[in-house]
Amino acid sequence: MIKTINKSFLILAGFSMLHFTANAQMTVKDELPRGWHLKDSKKDGFHGISIEQAYEFVKSKNTRGKTIIVAVIDSGIDTTHEDLKPVLWRNPGEIPGNGIDDDKNGYVDDVYGWNFIGGKDGTNVKVDSYEMARVYHKFKNKFIQVEDPSILSAEDKKLYKMWLRAAEQVSGDPKEQLNFMLIKNAYKEALNGDSVMQKLLGKATYLGSDVEAFSPVNEEGTKAKRKVLTLYHGLGIDLDRKNAEILSEIDEYVSGQERKLEAAEKAPRDYRGEIVKDNYSDFNDRFYGNNDVMANTPFHGTHVSGIIGAVRNNKKGMNGVADNVKIMTIRAVPDGDEHDKDIALGIRYAVDNGAQIINMSFGKGFSPEKKWVDEAVKYAEEHDVLLVHAAGNDASNIDEVQNYPQPAFESDGYRAPNWITVGASSDAAEGSFTASFSNYGKTEVDVFAPGVKIYSTIPGGNTYGNAQGTSMASPVVAGVAAFILSYYPELSAKQVKYVIEKTAGNPGEKINKPGTEDLVDFSEISKNGGIVNAYEAIKLASTLKGERKTTTVKTKSTVSPQKKN
């Protein structure tokens, strides 16, 4: 799956346009050194988070770390990966494979976590529709004939406003639609080149490096090589990646965009309902899904999890940020927009099963059941759980553009104090301290963290690669939070948030507003005006008196009823 495609690809393909976004990341070419996001600006020359200096600090204090559970609500995780297996959370109350809900939490055999977008028959949701299309068609008959919205009830006025916004977006931007058609045609050309290249190389599966080294002897070979390398070089993809993986990811992007184009004329297919088969409108109908947390789309979640906690210093692949961590897997994000009910229940599951930090590298422009998510966020606050969320990849000001989930509650505007929103930073070696794709906001984005060319775990065959997006920046912060809480476990979620934000470092020069060439102060695009620094954060953490309160989570039998939608 793809999140961003670089402008360089579009130039190579003969186009002129900005990056586009979907629901996951294409891996990118390794130009910055692997693991640059962990480095120190003074010692190493790269503006990372200074994690080695942070570990040296806690070592000097003779402080032993406590294991922290971090829940990853995402697309799934490769539970067989060599760098993740030792750090995966395993439910201590569950006997694997016996078909019994041993711990009586409502979820049978939830050994690694739970899959909220799966069916009881073992099938899983892979692709799904987009929330704007779901909202538009759900309320189309109700509102399309409305001429005087002033006569609507207060509740209907709110829904009508949301529906109008969905209607505007569903119609689409003609320029964007043209751009998509150009990209789709380029993809078709690449498929043709791939077919020829397989024959010339004598194998169905090859690497970019194979194509780079190939010497064509005729026009056909020259064209095929050019078409394939346009994808590798233009998208900035590692040359050690397989052709089939790359084409599959682009195919998912193309399919997703086609679903968006269909949205104006045709109601979206109920992909989720066909498989999950719950009563979506009833929040009390919550014990659905299955325990297949890997499923068929684990790229995104696997990459995110490695950033947080891949085993450190084991001479394999790469190092995660946090050392004493267990990753709880919650699958709730398809190739398409996630559903509010699954996210709300995913948060509650994480809290009920002992997670102290939840990473949320996903987002969308509409949240029709936001009250369910708000209630779950409040539940997390009551149990001192920190939520870390990716700001998004549209180069938009989310002070002005709707972006969900978000910490401001729909009912009264209350802002959750246990929430951090993260933008993506880069390095001066890339031309800017900000990622060109990152969302920003002086009010809504708390901090920035490295999110460009981040090297981490990839599913299948114990492999690794780069990916980029605020989806990568968020787990950097979640990892820092876990690191802090591990060595200072008496700190509350609010205190961990405080030390991360208070110590965010400003590069000391004006930076590019994402998506533009405008130079601004970092404080103009984020609340705390800087990039996360683990070393400075842990030093501040060591000076605080902990305020964490012990709480008791609810079991299946004591969960209070929720009102129906």
Percent over 90 (pLDDT), the chain:
76
- Nearest partner of 363 among 378, 353, 376, 373, judged by Cα: 373
Q: Which pLDDT score, from 0 to 100, does residue 508 have?
A: 85
pLDDT tops 60 at residue 562 = no
Q: Are strands 419-425 and 447-450 parallel, antiparallel or unpaired?
A: parallel
Asked whether the beta carbons of 289 and 118 are under 8 A apart, the reply is yes
Asked whether the beta carbons of 114 and 330 are under 8 A apart, the reply is yes
The count of residues in the chain is 565
pLDDT-based confidence at 553, cuts 50/70/90? low
* DSSP assigned state of 319: -
Mind listing the pLDDT tens digit for each residue in 423-470?
A: 999 998 888 999 999 999 999 999 999 999 999 999 988 999 999 999
Helix (H) or strand (E) holding 74: strand 68-74
CATH of domain 31-127+280-558: 3.40.50.200
- Nearest partner of 230 among 289, 187, 179, 287, judged by Cα: 187
Q: Which pLDDT score, from 0 to 100, does residue 514 have?
A: 95
Cα dihedral 155/409/21/448 (nearest 10): 160
505 vs 493: CA distance, rounded Å: 21
pLDDT tops 50 at residue 4 = no
Cβ neighbour number for residue 66 with a 10 Å cutoff: 13
* DSSP assigned state of 404: B
pLDDT tops 70 at residue 95 = yes
Asked whether the beta carbons of 329 and 307 are under 8 A apart, the reply is no
Average pLDDT over residues 490-502: 98
pLDDT tops 90 at residue 417 = yes
243 vs 190: CA distance, rounded Å: 10
Q: Which pLDDT score, from 0 to 100, does residue 18 have?
A: 26
Mind listing the pLDDT tens digit for each residue in 60-76?
A: 999 899 999 999 999 99
Cβ neighbour number for residue 537 with a 10 Å cutoff: 27
pLDDT-based confidence at 182, cuts 50/70/90? low
Asked whether the beta carbons of 63 and 487 are under 8 A apart, the reply is yes
Mind listing the pLDDT tens digit for each residue in 530-547?
A: 999 999 999 999 999 999
Q: What is Dmax (Cα atoms) for the chain?
A: 74
pLDDT-based confidence at 17, cuts 50/70/90? very low
pLDDT-based confidence at 315, cuts 50/70/90? very high
Asked whether the beta carbons of 526 and 511 are under 8 A apart, the reply is no
pLDDT tops 80 at residue 24 = no
Show the tokens assigned to 25.
Answer: 């990341």
Helix (H) or strand (E) holding 325: strand 325-331
366 vs 9: CA distance, rounded Å: 30
Q: Which pLDDT score, from 0 to 100, does residue 302 have?
A: 98
Mind listing the pLDDT tens digit for each residue in 500-540?
A: 999 999 998 899 999 999 999 999 999 999 999 999 999 99
Question: How buried is residue 538: exposed, middle or buried, by Cβ count under 10 Å (0-12/13-18/19+)?
Answer: buried
Q: Which pLDDT score, from 0 to 100, does residue 3 have?
A: 40
- E strands in 354-453: 357-360, 386-390, 419-425, 447-450
Choose the weakest-confidence range: 68-72, 178-182, 368-372, 384-388. 178-182
190 vs 263: which has the higher pLDDT? 190
Q: Where do the H-state alpha helices sit in 144-173?
A: 154-171
Average pLDDT over residues 461-486: 96
432 vs 430: CA distance, rounded Å: 6
Average pLDDT over residues 322-341: 97
Q: Which pLDDT score, from 0 to 100, does residue 527 have?
A: 96
Residue by residue, DSSP assigns 9-40 as HHHHTT--------SS-------SPTTGGGS-
- E strands in 345-416: 357-360, 386-390
Percent over 70 (pLDDT), the chain:
89
Residues β-bridged to residue 511: 520
* Residue 261: CA count within 13 A, CB half-sphere: 15
Show the tokens assigned to 384.
Answer: 């001192």
**Is 507 in a helix, a strand, or coil?**
coil
Average pLDDT over residues 378-389: 98
249 vs 24: CA distance, rounded Å: 9
- E strands in 95-142: 113-115
* Helices and strands of the chain, counted as H and E runs: 16, 11
Asked whether the beta carbons of 330 and 291 are under 8 A apart, the reply is no
Place of tokens 């480095």: 39
Residues β-bridged to residue 115: 290, 331
pLDDT tops 90 at residue 258 = no
Instruction: Tell me the residue type at 462.
Output: N
Question: How buried is residue 376: exposed, middle or buried, by Cβ count under 10 Å (0-12/13-18/19+)?
Answer: buried
Count Cβ neighbours within 10 Å for each residue of 424-438 and write b for 16 or more, e otherwise: bbbbeebebbbbbbb
Q: Which pLDDT score, from 0 to 100, does residue 23 have?
A: 35
Average pLDDT over residues 23-38: 69
pLDDT-based confidence at 129, cuts 50/70/90? very high
Average pLDDT over residues 100-127: 97
Show the tokens assigned to 131.
Answer: 């929330």
110 vs 21: which has the higher pLDDT? 110
- Sequence-distant (6+) residues with CB within 8 A of 499 are 484, 491, 537, 538, 540, 541, 544
- Nearest partner of 385 among 422, 415, 409, 359, judged by Cα: 359
Residues of each domain in the chain carrying CATH 3.40.50.200? 31-127+280-558
Interhelix angle for 131-143 vs 154-171, to 10°? 120
- Nearest partner of 393 among 11, 18, 20, judged by Cα: 20
Count Cβ neighbours within 10 Å for each residue of 141-175 and write b for 16 or more, e otherwise: eebeeeeeeeebeeebeebbebbebbbebbeeeee
pTM of the entire predicted model: 0.83
For the chain, what is the mean pLDDT? 89
Average pLDDT over residues 415-420: 98
Q: Which pLDDT score, from 0 to 100, does residue 250 have?
A: 80
Average pLDDT over residues 394-400: 96
Mind listing the pLDDT tens digit for each residue in 163-179?
A: 999 998 887 655 565 66
